[in-house]
Amino acid sequence: MIYLDYAATTPVDQRVLDAMMPYFREVYGNPSSLHRLGQKAEAAVDQAREKVASVLHCKLDEIIFTSCGTESDNLALRGAAMAKRAASGEKWILTSKTEHHAVCKTAEQLEKEFGFLLEWLDMDQYGTVTPESMRKAVCNQTALASVMYANNEIGTINPIPELAEIARVNNILFHTDAVQAAAYLDLNVKKLGVNLLSLGGHKFYGPKGVGALYVRNGTKLIPHMTGGGQEYGLRAGTQNVPYIVGFAEALRLTAEEREKRIAHVKPLRDRIIGEVLETIPDSQLTGHPESRLPNHASFVFKDVDGNLLLQMLDSAGFACSSGSACKTGNPEPSEVITSLGYSRDWALGSLRVTLGVDSTPKHVDSFLKSLPELVEKARKLNQR
């Protein structure tokens, strides 16, 4: 099986697994316990927090460990919006239709169930939230804006520093979902200028089931999980020590090896984009042609059932996606694709191809040799 779905998840790096293993059976204490085993576990969490803070260029107490990127997004949006409204009355939330469901659905719930007001930010043809659209949307009642760093479905990178600066001068909290971006983009929060930033470990060769939220000092959050007061009172529950250790080591390796990883995947990505557009009729690249993740190629094919194409690719030995892994199997077109203005006959035929450290030129050769025939076959079956 040739794996071309690294945006959905990544295999755990052996070095990360090695770092995690002692904390399952040898150093198994509860970090909240006062005895020696508990203190060792607490020290491991502290060291992990230091590693993450070093990559993000922030303070230790600005890192909150969570169970995943989705939880980080939920804590950021729900916690910040409610705290801001309680403090000063603002109730508008700004976000975009291309966000991950962890942001979109949370924003929609805040509007429907908790009385907030929601405005969808305009985007350009590539799914970019521009500074102009942000300036147009802000008002003196805006509590929070959330714009993802890089899109998981179409790969477009948003101009986060510029958007965050607009939010800052208007006294608006700014959150970015950096879950997909973390594998390849700079996470220096001082340069990004954000108040809140979400991460998920399994997107950069760490384990599933662990994430983190950066919370800039002075940013008030209402915790959505209360209890023992762990994670500075913002996320109660016994810390998952081995996973936190793995998350931090994976992030450290990602930052250390970023340039090497980019140099590996980008030429392969460019070759896929060039050959697909050249060899397959009625195909279009989705997302920005240049300002996109270096491992990410995404397309729409007219009159193709994307899910059928995925099944055919799977049978041929290729693991790909039709967009977000969370939407696989959904017969409706992705909201991200439709928000870009594609009609249904195009939007249903989406394909996402994402590369990683184990991708090789031979993998790409094999994929490019098989894809045109499979797309043609899928079109014929769709026309019956």
The catalytic site residues sit at 326
Residue 77 neighbours by CB distance under 10 Å: 31
* Percent helix / strand / coil, the chain, rounded to 5: 45, 15, 40
Tokens 């005895």 -> residue = 35
DSSP 8-class letter at 321: B
Contact 289, 296 (CB under 8 A): no
First to last CA, the chain: 30
Strand pairing category for 173-177 and 142-146:
parallel
Collapse the DSSP code of 162 into the 3-class scheme (helix H, G, I; strand E, B; otherwise coil) and give the result: helix
Which positions ≥6 away from 244 have C-beta within 8 Å? 44, 45, 48, 65, 210
Collapse the DSSP code of 269 into the 3-class scheme (helix H, G, I; strand E, B; otherwise coil) and give the result: helix
Closest CA to 41 of 239, 229, 233: 239
CA distance 100 to 294: 19
Residue 367 neighbours by CB distance under 10 Å: 23
- Give the CA angle between residues 144, 333, 321 to the nearest 5°: 90
Contact 75, 83 (CB under 8 A): no
Closest CA to 301 of 316, 315, 320, 322: 322
Which positions ≥6 away from 231 have C-beta within 8 Å? 64, 65, 66, 239
Contact 198, 73 (CB under 8 A): yes
Closest CA to 262 of 160, 356, 154, 363: 356
DSSP one-letter string for 195-222: SEEEEEGGGTTS-SS-EEEEE-TT----
Collapse the DSSP code of 233 into the 3-class scheme (helix H, G, I; strand E, B; otherwise coil) and give the result: helix
